[in-house]
Amino acid sequence: MIKVAPSVLSADFTRFCDALKMLEAAGADYIHCDVMDGMFVPNITFGPYMIRDMRKTTNLTLDVHLMVQAPERYVEAFAEAGADIIVVHEEATTHLDRTLQMIRAAGKKCGVALNPHTPLSVLEYVLDGLDQVLLMSVNPGFGGQSFLPYSLDKARALKAMIDARGLDIDIEMDGGIGPNNVAEVTAAGVNVLVAGNAVFAAPDPAEVIRRLKRGK
Ligand code: DX5
Ligand code: ZN
């Protein structure tokens, strides 16, 4: 089952409520929330208060992607704000295992995100306890960038790693995904598709969401 997680990074920030209603009506599975701190990535977006207010507006799963240095400082705040899935970057937290324990203790699903260059081997000892792995297919910080083709090999390798251990972990891919490459991305084992620009720049966002869900 393919899940579609539109990224509201590409929405009009003054009309978030409309965007959420549109995504719900269009059959989105998750709302992908890109939190950027201007340190881990060269851009700044929003924090827990935005998640709190989105929580009041939608029942869809809030998939919170923390592109934040030392995300452990904010796990509790995002959990209280109503995040459903909290995803931290391996590169941003010194004590990854401890940070994941904090997310689980808060009763939330936990995910680890990897930058394009980060090898899968960093997941070796934490994989078993994860709900989701997010593979960045662009360098994080901005919407609308081009998909890095080597991400497909990485997805295939991750899928093999998960299957070899008999685990049930979602593989999420983030960056440069749209109807033009969705077939390859899903064939590589990805089952959660983040899409920002492809959805929000389209004349008919709902149609793009349907196509992503169909995988073609
Ligand atoms: C990039 C963000 C992505 C981004 C994806 O740093 O993590 O979620 O919004 O946007 P597109 O689909 O436009 O590449
Ligand atoms: Zn993201």
**How far is Cα 67 from Cα 45, in angstroms, rounded to an integer?**
10
**How far is Cα 122 from Cα 138, in angstroms, rounded to an integer?**
19
- Tell me: the pLDDT tens digits for 169-212? 999 999 999 999 999 999 999 999 999 999 999 999 999 999 99
Query: Tokens at residue 120, please?
Result: 């899968």
- Tell me: the pLDDT tens digits for 127-149? 999 999 999 999 999 999 999 99
pLDDT at 39: 98
Query: Tokens at residue 40, please?
Result: 């881990």
CB 130 within 8 A of CB 100: yes
* Catalytic annotation present for 18: no
Helix boundaries (H) for the chain: 16-26, 48-57, 75-81, 96-105, 151-164, 182-187, 197-200, 205-214
Q: What is the mean pLDDT of residues 30-46?
A: 98
Instruction: Kindly report the number of other CB atoms within 10 A of residue 25's CB atom.
Output: 11
Q: Please report the atom of ligand 1 found closest to the CA of residue 10.
A: 9
pLDDT at 201: 97
Q: How far is the CA of 148 from the centre of ligand 1 (A)?
A: 13
- Tell me: the pLDDT tens digits for 79-128? 999 999 999 999 999 999 999 999 999 999 999 999 999 999 999 999 99
Would you say residue 216 has pLDDT above 90? no
- Tell me: the pLDDT tens digits for 48-65? 999 999 999 999 999 999
Q: Please report the atom of ligand 1 found closest to the CA of residue 145.
A: 14
**Ligand 1: residues within 6 Å at CB?**
7, 9-10, 32, 34, 65, 138, 140-145, 174-177, 194-198
CB 185 within 8 A of CB 153: no
Q: Please report the atom of ligand 1 found closest to the CA of residue 177.
A: 12
Query: How many whole angstroms from its chain centre is CA 1?
Result: 16
Query: Minimal CA–CA distance to 136: which of 78, 87, 202, 204?
Result: 87
pLDDT at 49: 98
Closest residue by Cα to atom 2, ligand 1, is: 140
Active-site annotation holder among 29, 34, 37, 63 = 34
* Catalytic annotation present for 34: yes
